[in-house]
């Protein structure tokens, strides 16, 4: 399957700092990437859809000024958690669609995730 | 509101048995269905996709889809301890041009040696 690289895998930061998470599609171009967050023992919650060359689309209840998304190229999307607070501590996962193959444009492949801990 | 329902479990099966995981969805127009496996602390891994009614087999995994009943299932034959994980059912939204997935909360499977 397609490879999506995400880093860092773990971040521990002080309250009030900003954290940037990178998501790269390594062997395909991804015009659309998705950002999820997951709390312990809970399911994935879509935060936003990242579109190359345009503004991200945020889900209801997700603060766009808090979670800045930049999708400047076909292989890279970044999520910046600004002025992080302890309640932002979560597992953040990116995913991208691989457009190759039959109906493959609907398959999502996930990055390895970033565990954010805000002290 | 589109919903995907799964029994949270845990579902415990002995090694070598068949594990049966079930999922129902509310959006009758959904066209694509996926099963992801997620180990604790890791991101989800796609293991099966199914688009048409009936069964689809891949190794020890069989996905079953019944659109009339809005039901999709995953069977794992000859279950192994390494299959112990949370299995997420995901359904593509039916909106035109939309490729967003709605995930269920997942079923935790434990395979007992």
CA distance B22 to B48: 14
Provide the pLDDT for residue A63.
94
Q: Which residues of B touch A6 (CB under 8 A)?
A: 43
| Least CB–CB distance from B92: residue in A1, A6, A106 | A106
Q: For B40-98, what is each residue's pLDDT tens digit?
A: 888 899 899 999 999 999 999 999 999 999 999 999 999 999 999 999 999 987 664 55
B110, B32, A98, A101: CA torsion to nearest 10? 110
Mean pLDDT in consecutive groups of 10 residues from the start of chain A, 119 residues: 88 96 90 89 87 87 94 90 96 82 65 95
Please indicate if any CB of chain A lies within 8 Å of the CB of B67: no
CA distance A104 to B3: 23
Per 3-state DSSP, what percentage of chain A is helix, strand, and coil (rounded to 5)?
A: 5, 50, 45
């Amino acid at each position: 399957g397609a490879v999506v690289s995400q880093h860092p895998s773990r971040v521990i930061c002080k309250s009030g700092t900003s954290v940037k998470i990178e998501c790269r599609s390594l062997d395909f171009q991804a015009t659309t990437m998705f950002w999820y967050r997951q709390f312990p023992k809970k399911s994935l919650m879509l935060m936003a859809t990242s579109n190359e060359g345009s503004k991200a689309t945020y889900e209801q209840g997700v603060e766009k000024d808090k979670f800045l998304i930049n999708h400047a190229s076909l292989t890279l999307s970044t999520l910046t958690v600004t002025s992080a607070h302890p309640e932002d501590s979560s597992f953040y996962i990116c995913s991208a669609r691989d457009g190759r193959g039959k109906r493959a444009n609907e398959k999502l492949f996930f990055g390895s995730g970033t565990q954010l801990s805000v002290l | 509101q589109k919903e995907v329902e799964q029994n949270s479990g845990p579902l415990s099966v002995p090694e070598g048995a068949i594990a049966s995981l079930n999922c129902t969805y509310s959006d009758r127009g959904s066209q694509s269905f996926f099963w992801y496996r997620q180990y604790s602390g890791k991101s989800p891994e796609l293991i099966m996709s199914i688009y048409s009614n009936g069964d689809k087999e891949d190794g020890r995994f069989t996905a079953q889809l019944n659109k009339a009943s809005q039901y999709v299932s995953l069977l794992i034959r000859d279950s192994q301890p390494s299959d112990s994980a949370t299995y997420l059912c995901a359904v593509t939204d039916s909106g035109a041009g939309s490729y967003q997935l709605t995930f269920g909360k997942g079923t935790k499977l434990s395979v007992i040696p």
